Structure 1
């Protein structure tokens, strides 16, 4: 592959080498030192796997262009990979075939987990999405046979375009493609030979760059490297549930873990048409997916959505008179109490649905019950991260519920809770920092204090009559 890339104008290959590394497997090794920001590799446009190149192929292109409606970007790239792989002995594709020969023959994405491995994360969003995806892949392949493969058996012999081949090609696209925003709101997805061998590290800065003018892909040094180091790229702040589904690995203790909370309301619901007009004004839709994270376990958008969903006739009339952002603040005590009670109950139901509860998972991982690096081990870390976030979300909702039910701007409830747990994340501690203004709530750290102030406490935070007036 390297000799072909050099002949096509790739730069930097003399300073890099494919190698096997403990923990990450196949990766890219530096043969000399680099300073952060140095260009270490450039792959020319002509050898990139892109939709435009697939359409431009003299054999495959006419077939792809004839399919209406057009295939998805993922399907086009997957078919392109399989088509080139099937053209063994055709000199036109020798270079691209050398890249395919360097690709893994199998992947560790969650779609390949057996039932026992997947059951470790039962109840998680990954479990649900993976189950749906496994069926969707079968359905999509059948549709592809009808629309493309079947009508052109000479180009697509089914023994080389099986369901397993299709899933392999899609996993190649998922795990190795790069996406870039282009001018005028356009975008491009590409797979770059050799550059796709670089592994992910959150310790380096994002360092892959696409030049829209030349069409070339460049990799910069995301940090200083010495000769012999492994070079990395940064995929971005991706949670473990997505890392395992798309890339086939997890990061223990991933700070970017999240849980996608799906909020949906259907047309038979009371006053649905009126509420449907309010959600967009709050930046939401009747079905909204909102990410719960470690740093923001209960985003304001969740409360905005549910305040609208739970509007009574009287509340709805009051909202229509408001000039402020729709549902950005408490609408009424009864509405807020109903919303928070519903949240607590719903989050409890989600948590109860996990097959292996948090404490048991922590114990199993601590005792190496799952072999490190195995599919079950990876699934356990996904479940662990999601349950931690959901518990923080529930604690946050429970705290807010005590504030609402306490009355008097919630100060009594806040005082009784503050001495035991962080007012934002719910973390229990004997050493909490008290809000310097209202003295009514306390936090486990500055990060939670700032987040809480921005996400609701600002509206109720008032200095005592004889107290100071510092802002948080």
Structure 2
């Protein structure tokens, strides 16, 4: 679906959108929201009533005896199963074919993760075990749920992929609520200071996205999902950031190294060994650029490129220190 179609749905469902806000290709990958007009700090870029969002506060799932994430999973499954009859069909149709997050990872992604580093593959294996386990547990806890009645678990997998890659968390009366905000979910993540903050106005019952700084005309609107390293971004959101300053390497003795760390000789030997164990950089560059590959495989290749760069930065620091 085009942005125009999603925008029409957004406005018809009570959404408010600042003039000049539009969708364009992002240098971070995929699409993002941009502004054609300069915006001052404290300006509301967009807002949508909570009742027009998909949330764990929806009356159909709010009382289920599971946490907010699984309540929203049940709601997403219900709406996905409705197809074009869902109130949110326009939003579902606007989403990428793949979110790239771990619930969509299968054999291809596991094989890609197996190429290293070890902690990526270990995390991928552990995450892969969650999906059938969660399905079994939820079906037992909620025998009358949409989840329990699924003939094909594709909707369950898709719902979790959307949940992990696109949800926001808010608090209402001391209760944690998981929310998907159509259109607002297109604002990309930054590891630096965010220009946009998501807020919930309990008085009006609206989810709002508000500028935190001055934003120049033509600038992309960016939000910070949290203090996330590339492993978390890769598995939960289906992408990785180049030169993510939150990335680190843990050595065999438990020492954690960042890009700013200075290596001693024993540590440099271990870091070099870790780098040599990775596939060729050209292989990951090709996999990352291959549009025919899955979003998950491209995210894994992107993660490994960033990880390799971190290892090389550490080795460069050692070379500079002894030189």
TM-score (norm 2): 0.76
In structure 2, C-alpha distance between the alignment counterparts of 1:108 and 1:6, rounded to whole Å? 28
- 1:244 Cα shift? 0.3
Q: Distance in 2 between matches of 1:76 and 1:386?
A: 38
Aligned to 1:39: 44
The Cα shift of 1:292 comes to 3.8
Displacement, 1:118?
Answer: 0.7
Q: Which residue of 1 aligns with 2:280?
A: 364
Q: Does 1:211 align with 2:201?
A: yes
Write the deviation string for residues 330-365 of structure 1: whole angstroms up to 9, x where unpaired.
xxxxxxxxxxxxxx9xx99xx69x9x721564x933
Deviations 1:57-107 (Å, cap 9, x if unpaired)? 3xxx4xx73x5xx223222111211201222465xx43x222222222312
CA contact (8 A) 2:284 2:304 kept: no
For residues 199-238 of structure 1, give each alpha carbon's deviation from its aligned partner in whole angstroms, at most 9, with x where no partner exists.
1123442522222333322212354444443322222331
What's the RMSD between the two structures over aligned residues? 3.9
Cα distance in 2 for partners of 1:260, 1:139 equals 29
The partner residue of 2:184 within 195, 211, 215 is 195
SS in 1 for 2:118: coil
Structure 1 match to 2:131: 137
Deviation at 1:380, TM superposition (A): 1.5
In the other structure, the counterpart of 1:165 is 155
Counterpart CA distance in 2 for 1:245 and 1:29 is: 26
Gaps of 5+ in 2: 1-5, 290-297
1:253 Cα offset (Å): 1.8
Q: 1:49 aligns with which of 54, 69, 76?
A: 54
Matches of 1:165 and 1:209, distance apart in 2: 29
Q: Does 1:116 align with 2:100?
A: no
Residue equivalent to 1:280? none
Give the secondary structure class of the aligned counterpart of 1:114.
Answer: helix
Contact 1:82 1:169 in 2 (8 A): yes
For residue 29 of structure 1, report the CA deviation from its aligned partner. 2.9
The residue that corresponds to 1:79 in the other structure is: 74
What is the rounded CA distance, in whole Å, between the counterparts of 1:261 and 1:7 in structure 2? 54
Cα distance in structure 2, aligned partners of 1:262 and 1:52: 45
Q: Deviations over 1:102-147 (max 9, x none)?
A: 22231222551533311222412x3212101101111111233344
Structure 1 position 376, deviation (Å):
4.7
Task: State the shift of 1:241 in Å.
Answer: 0.6
Distance 1:39 1:251 in 2: 27
Query: In the alignment, what sits opposite 1:257?
Result: 247
Shift in Å, 1:165: 2.1
Write the distance in 1 (CA, Å) between the matches of 2:238 and 2:29: 11
- In 2, the alpha carbon distance for the partners of 1:107 and 1:217 equals 23
TM-score computed with the length of structure 1 as normaliser: 0.54
Look up the SS of the partner of 2:285 in the other structure: coil
Q: Which moved more, 1:36-45 or 1:189-198?
A: 36-45
SS at the partner of 1:34?
Answer: coil
Q: 1:101 aligns with which of 68, 93, 97?
A: 93
Aligned to 2:321: 429
- Partner Cα distance (2:52, 2:178) in 1: 14
Q: 2:121 aligns with which of 102, 116, 127?
A: 127
Deviations 1:416-454 (A, max 9, x none): xxxxxxxxx9786158xxxxxxxxxxxxxxxxxxxxxxx
